[in-house]
Structure 1
Amino acid sequence: MIRLTRRAAIAGATLAPFAVARAQGNWPDKPVRLVVPFTPGGSTDILARAMGQRLGEIFNQPFIVDNRPGAGGTVGSEQVYRAAPDGLTLMMGHIGTLACNPALYPNLTFDTARFVPVALVANVANFLVVTNGLAARDVQALIALAKSKPGELTYGSGGNGSAAHIAMVAFNEATGTEMTHVPYRGTGPMLTDLIGGTIQLTMTGGPPALPPVRAGQLRALGISSLERLPSANDIPTVASQGVQGFEALQWYGIVAPPGTPPAIVARLNEACNRTLGEAPFRARLESEGAVADPMTPAQFGDYIARERDRWGTLIRRNNVSLG
């Protein structure tokens, strides 16, 4: 069953006495920095701002989104990794920073597996969108066009090794097509060029993709989940259009520096999952093609490990490079 429809049960945790006292005491007694290791405008940024606003209301302290882009998210990730483990620095991680980057950056000076998982926020189906000037009106027409012009169609992403890049690598592999990757320094600039016709297509998350689709600036050919989304029920899945079993979800969740006390993690997880259970917040996510998927920290950690294995294998098999 597709994970977009799953709701994990929320379990309690056994907390060390010192951590309990600290978490139930003054934390957070200062503003919390929520690092987004990418430029503004992409799915990570959009979801971080939505969750940060609600967490700030719950804890009565600002959760300040801090964009720290660079090197496929590794710059911001390393800053969070080396930050004090006091619960005042967090990161909105995602499939790229937590699952793909270990394979893409074999010489990283920090171990992404040591981030402390806090809460999975949402799964986001990728939208396969094309410029209005492209003749293809469905997935099979796009495949036929790409095969008739190997390497001539160009797809954009937020950068080498980004989630959109890896999703298109998976699409090319599944369909036997060859399209040329054009990396940008962020999803926002890429979408601007896509709307302008500089590139022909992309496969990116719903939060940045849906607004230009709804405005008629781009055309959506399919989504990368196995089931249609309630918020975009008019858009068929890629899998239903002859690419059997195709699924390439982005996912987003909060992690903390190694050593962050379990009690602080538990309080954050409880607040995040409480937020994900609120109908207005779920509706806000769904309106942007994102689906809430609450997990315990342990469940989230297991999920990250499985995804790291899956996408790392794809990256190595296709010799994906950052050059």
Structure 2
Amino acid sequence: MPAFRLASLGALCTALALVPSLSAAAAPDAFPERAIRIVVPYAPGGTNDVVARLVSQKLSDQLKQPVVVENKPGASGNIGAEQVSRAPADGYTLVLVTTGHTIHPSIYTNLRYDITKDLVPVARLSSGPMLVMVNPKLPVNTVGDLVALAKSKPNALNFASAGNGSSTHLAMELLSNQAGIRMNHIPYGGSAPAMADVMAGNADLVMDLMFSALPQVQSGRLRAIGITSAKRSALLPDLPTVSESGVEGFDAEAWNGLMAPAKTPQSVIDRLSAEIRKALADPELKARLDAQGFSGNWASPADFGAVIGKETTRWAGVVKRAGIKLD
């Protein structure tokens, strides 16, 4: 075979060998080429659902592809998370995770996914405080008053929560531990019935997200005595933090963020995270989140992963001290 033909054949083989690598390199630049699905593992209408829908609308505009929210409630958010952990690792299926997902490894003995192994962080979306609220007839106006009353009558006060192992349950257990008080826990099947029973006088106090709690406080049906964040909220500037009220160092904000199936290409994760950061910086979106009592609080994949690890360790300690275990 002539030398020039051998050279041409060699060049062709070299070019063909490069095709897969060129295609792989181009793929992330093309992402996304179709709709992205965000699984919200809770019922529609709650804080997490609202945040996911606000962010998805902005991402749809930026990415020029539909970003749709699909609600998959059940098992305190574990059904949706498990489903996404088994989805293709291509960036087209994401799950919204919350504080609760860092509590679950410590309280559930039969989880069928591992948040640190089967899912990878994309970005934190937002975070927000909870309110400590009492029935208006309870003779306390501050967290300091509550602590004093609970210390004078151990196990006499009943606190309601959204359910065993919920973030509102664990945050109240954390408060009790740091304040050195003992109260009885009454779990409910969600925050609405928990607050309703406190308003009816069947329980003494409850802790819940500002999004769902603020209307009850503004109506006078519940009395807010403290906010769980390290700083006061612009929505209730006169309400002291729990830390200011005598439980020094207390800080328990709820948060949410997006994760993807493990082995999703890092280039895809980085693209999604950058787009989320851009969306959360939009003044209109920021104002709408602030109005919900949840502020945009982007964190990179690495930083969000650190938050998840730190929170998992933190809540494991609270669970152990409280002796909580669920099947």
TM-score range with shorter-chain normalisation? 0.7 to 0.9
Note the aligned Cα RMSD (angstroms). Answer: 2.3
Deviations 1:159-188 (A, max 9, x none): 211111110110111122222222223333
CA contact (8 A) 1:120 1:252 kept: yes
- Matched residue of 2:129: which SS? strand
Indicate the structure (1 or 2) with the bigger Cα radius of gyration.
2
> Which of 10, 16, 25 is the matching residue for 2:30?
25
Q: Work out whether residues 124 and 249 of structure 1, in 8 Å CA contact, stay in contact via their aligned partners in 2.
A: yes
**2:106 pairs with 1:108:** no
Please identify, of 71-80 and 183-192, the stretch whose mean Cα deviation from structure 2 is larger: 183-192
Higher relative contact order (CA 8 A, sep 6+): 1
Q: Residue 240 of structure 1: SS of its match in structure 2?
A: coil
2:69 to 55, 65, 68: 65
1:220 paired with 2:224, answer yes
**Under a length normalisation based on structure 2, what TM-score does the superposition of the two structures give?**
0.85
C-alpha distance in 2, partners of 1:41/1:158?
Answer: 15
1:72 touches 1:160 (CA, 8 Å); kept in 2? no
Deviation (angstroms), 1:28: 4.3
Partners of 2:272 and 2:320 in 1: CA distance: 35
Question: For 1:82 and 1:130, how far apart are their aligned partners in 2?
Answer: 42
Alpha-carbon separation, structure 2, partners of 1:128 and 1:200: 11
Match of 2:80 in 1: 76
Match of 2:134 in 1: 130
Which residues in structure 2 correspond to 1:268-307 (within 5 Å)? 268-307=272-311
Matches of 1:20 and 1:127, distance apart in 2:
48
Structure 1 window deviating more from structure 2 (40-49 vs 188-197): it is 188-197
Percent identity of paired positions between Structure 1 and Structure 2: 38
User: Who is 1:6 aligned against?
Assistant: none
What's 2:211 paired with?
Answer: 207
Number of residue pairs matched by the alignment? 306
> How far apart, CA to CA, are the structure 1 residues paired with 2:239 and 2:246?
15
Give a deviation string over 1:118-172, Cα, whole Å, max 9, x none.
Answer: 1111221121122333332111222233334433432222221111111011011
Amino acid at match of 2:103: C
Tell me, which stretches of 5 or more residues in structure 2 are unaligned? 1-20
* CA distance in structure 2 between the partners assigned to 1:249 and 1:65 by the alignment: 24
CA distance 1:186–1:38, change in 2 (3 Å)? farther
For residue 237 of structure 1, what is the aligned residue in structure 2? 241
Structure 1 position 160 matched with structure 2 position 150: no
Q: Of residues 58, 61, 66 in structure 2, which corresponds to 1:54?
A: 58
- Other structure's SS at 1:155 match: strand
Which stretch of the first structure deviates more once superposed, 255-264 or 19-28? 19-28
Structure 1's 128 and 19: CA in aligned 2 closer, same or farther, altered over 3 A? farther
C-alpha distance in 2, partners of 1:244/1:178? 18
